[in-house]
Structure formats: C-alpha cells, structure tokens
Amino acid sequence: MILCVMDDLIFSIKIQTAAKSIGGVDLFFERSPDMVLPRIREKRPALVIFDLNSRKMDPMTAIAGMKADAELKDIRTLGFVSHVDSDTIEAARAAGITPA
C-alpha cells in the first residue's frame, strides 16, 4: 500500500492514473496535516509519497517525525518537487527523505 501525503488535486489524479495503469496498487490519500503520522502508523504503508511543495501538509515536519519514530523510520519515502528547487530538495534530505 502506498500512502500519499498531498493536497493538490491534479497531482493526486496523476498518481491515481499511474497506479491504475500498472494495476494492483492500493493508494490512500491523506489530506489532513494533523493525521499524517497517525495515518502512517495505522496503515503501515510500504511507501509514503510526499508533495514537497505543499505548504498545508508540512512535509518536512512529517518526514522528520517519521524518521525520529522507531516504528516508522524504515518506511520508504518519496518526494516530488521541481528539479530546480534546490532549497526544498536540501530540506527534504535534511529531514530524512529516503535517498534516491
């Protein structure tokens, strides 16, 4: 199961479309910033996808919270951001996003 942390509707649709095209991928979208870590604990996803540009979802705090939690730190993370946004990329790395 893949948990997606984002509030961008267009981005969500693109992920749903990609998942449908390969089949057999269960997705869950969390759109409430207060529920990100509780939902990860509840769902135990194989992967968490973050929209690193989302101000509402505060992805850096969620990533750092995952990596600081012994039960969640080994869950893989994937972040999407513009390749020219080096500050956000560096912040995600500092927070502990899974290296590519």
Q: How many structural domains are present in the chain?
A: 1
Tokens 């540009």 locate to: 53
pTM (predicted TM-score): 0.91
The residue range of the domain holding 41 is: 2-95
How far apart (Å, rounded) are the C-alpha atoms in residues 92 and 21? 28
Is 100 part of any domain? no
CA 36, 39, 44, 47 torsion-angle sign = negative
- Output the domain CATH number for residue 83: 3.40.50.2300
The answer as to whether 67 is a domain residue is yes
pLDDT exceeds cutoff 80 at 100: no
What integer pLDDT is reported at residue 83 of this predicted model?
87
What's the CA gap between 55 and 100, in Å, rounded?
A: 23
The tens digit of pLDDT for each residue in 25-81 reads 999 999 999 999 999 999 999 999 999 999 999 999 999 999 999 999 999 999 999
Contact 37, 61 (CB under 8 A): no
Assigned domain for 60 exists: yes
Strands (E), 1-99: 2-5, 27-30, 47-51, 76-80
Q: Does the structure show a pLDDT above 80 at 92?
A: yes
- Position 82 scores a pLDDT of 87
Tokens of 77: 């993370």
* pLDDT interval class at 99 (50, 70, 90): confident
